[in-house]
Structure 1
Amino acid sequence: MDYDAYFDESGDLGWILDRKFRKGGSSQFFTIAYLIIPNEQNKHINRFVTKFNKERGSEKEYKGSDFSNKRARSTARDISNMLKRHPNIIIRAITAKKSKTPDCIKEENSENILYNYMAKEALCSNLIALKKVNIIPDKRSVPRESFNSYPDLLKTELWFNRSSTVRISYQPEESHNNKRLIFIDWIANFIWRKYEDEVEEPFQILSQSIEVKELFF
């Protein structure tokens, strides 16, 4: 069975941590959320996003940051219910507290280092046993240096360090053309806003169905 793996992020990869976020500072936290799904089950995510758009009366891309806390809460409940109906759909997230990362990373000021590390830590354990996976991040979110370095890092980790034989393709896409990327952007934001803005309820609802890993806490 072939799988697709979609992932997107919330927060930023800047290092201005001594100022408040949205007031000249960088986000204190960075979250990557990912969706691993059998090819033939993409239709469930497509239907979920289509239904959401129909209810709000617009096909225009709706970002996670556009959600009010109330709408995030109700959408989180709908996502949780959908995952109960389709247990083969895997959703996970990983969040880093940037102030606690090693000083050498901050001094390097290279955004792809933290991004690559987090994406590797997030995905590898879920890809080991698969035969073939197409990895599809949001093209607009991938740091420029990571377009080539991340897939090579992932293959090195899986093939050499974890003895996996999974075949990997890597095809970033624009999220406005892909409902699964739109969907995982929502989840990344719902997870991230718990850490950055202390908005707890969407996270608590999702955490019943979604494993969330913390780094550097």
Structure 2
Amino acid sequence: MPETAFAYLDESGDLGWKLEKPYMQGGASRYFVISIALGMNNQHRRIGKVVDELHKVQKWSSKKEKKWTTIGKEARENFCQLAAKELAENAEVKVFVAVYHKETAPDFLRTIDVRAVHPDASEPEIQALEAKYKGRAHLTYSMLVAETLAEHLPNLDSFTYCPDELNEGQRTLDHILTYRLLIQQNRQLTLNRVDRKQPMQRGLDFADMCAGAVFEAYQFGEKSYLEILRPYIVVKDFNSNTDATNSSAQLEVPEPIEAG
């Protein structure tokens, strides 16, 4: 029987580069987190069921989507407990999380506000600089996903992925996944991308909440949510200050960044 998988991709944080000001006070987040929630052999349906159960536990009457940033502490804890239970009991549901440290990112993966950084530049110079940095947000997103999957995706015959709206309509992810998995790793794998549809929303909400739990630990130092999920998920830490060959090292969540 062919081995297949379906994955939901969602993120927490932003891809802005205003790092001179505190986060949420005119500055960008210092971390960008992508969660890949994957179900093997049709088990991706279980991913959305976790969010369905959360709605029941919280007695939410509205079917409107819930995001990590819009739910309270109790709901966050309940989600993490429900997700941990599903992951512990179902080996065919997996969560891979990529954490991007923007303050140590190489220049070629940064995007900047060209007009703010070069206020005296002429219009032709501005256009040239904007062309240089254009599209790097999608490049960063795509490379994080590709490198995480290259290391942790099981051997499959077919892999289907559904990214959220951040990367929706962009083909950068398709090209980079094809190059990394099919050409560099020579996997005999069929890649399929599907655009978000309403029935997929609960799966994307699951991925969003997993990303939020990890982001909370890195950006704010609130580690209680990640501690619930930690035994059952894989976190790949992209920090250029660490040895890139030591990705299996013990995860150390940094202290939160000072507000000022």
TM-score (norm 1): 0.90
User: Cα offset for 1:175?
Assistant: 6.6
The letter for the 2-side match of 1:2 is T
1:30 lines up with 2:32 in the alignment? yes
1:189 lines up with 2:215 in the alignment? no
What does residue range 80-95 of structure 1 map to in structure 2 within 5 Å?
Answer: 80-95=84-99
**Number of residues of Structure 1 aligned to a counterpart in Structure 2:** 214
Cα 1:39–1:59, aligned 2, differ >3 Å: closer, same or farther?
farther
1:61 alignment counterpart: 65
The letter for the 2-side match of 1:183 is F
The letter for the 2-side match of 1:41 is Q
What per-residue deviation string (whole Å, max 9, x for no partner) do you get for residues 131-171 of structure 1?
00111111x12176xx1121111111112211101100112
User: Structure 2 regions of 5+ residues with no counterpart?
Assistant: 112-132, 242-260
Task: Tell whether the 8 Å contact from 1:128 to 1:165 is kept in structure 2 after alignment.
Answer: no
Runs ≥4 in structure 1, deviation > 4 angstroms? 174-177
What does residue range 101-112 of structure 1 map to in structure 2 within 5 Å?
Answer: 101-106=105-110, 108=133, 110-112=136-138
C-alpha root-mean-square deviation of aligned residues, in Å? 1.9
Task: Tell whether the 8 Å contact from 1:112 to 1:143 is kept in structure 2 after alignment.
Answer: no
TM-score (norm 2): 0.76
Distance between the aligned counterparts of 1:71 and 1:182, measured in 2?
A: 13
3-state SS in 1 of match to 2:232: coil
Task: Tell whether the 8 Å contact from 2:7 to 2:36 is kept in structure 1 after alignment.
Answer: yes
The letter for the 2-side match of 1:127 is L
The letter for the 2-side match of 1:113 is L
User: Cα offset for 1:84?
Assistant: 1.1
Larger radius of gyration: 2
What does residue range 1-217 of structure 1 map to in structure 2 within 5 Å?
Answer: 1-54=3-56, 55-106=59-110, 108=133, 110-127=136-153, 129-138=155-164, 140-142=165-167, 147-174=170-197, 177-216=200-239, 217=241
Residue identity (%): 22
Distance between the aligned counterparts of 2:222 and 2:173, measured in 1?
A: 31
Distance between the aligned counterparts of 1:156 and 1:172, measured in 2?
A: 20
Distance between the aligned counterparts of 1:128 and 1:205, measured in 2?
A: 24
Cα 1:143–1:28, aligned 2, differ >3 Å: closer, same or farther?
farther
User: Structure 1 regions of 5+ residues with no counterpart?
Assistant: none
Task: Tell whether the 8 Å contact from 1:127 to 1:166 is kept in structure 2 after alignment.
Answer: no
User: Cα offset for 1:65?
Assistant: 0.9
Distance between the aligned counterparts of 1:149 and 1:36, measured in 2?
A: 21
User: Cα offset for 1:174?
Assistant: 5.0
The letter for the 2-side match of 1:4 is F
Which is bigger in relative contact order (C-alpha 8 A, separation at least 6)?
A: 1
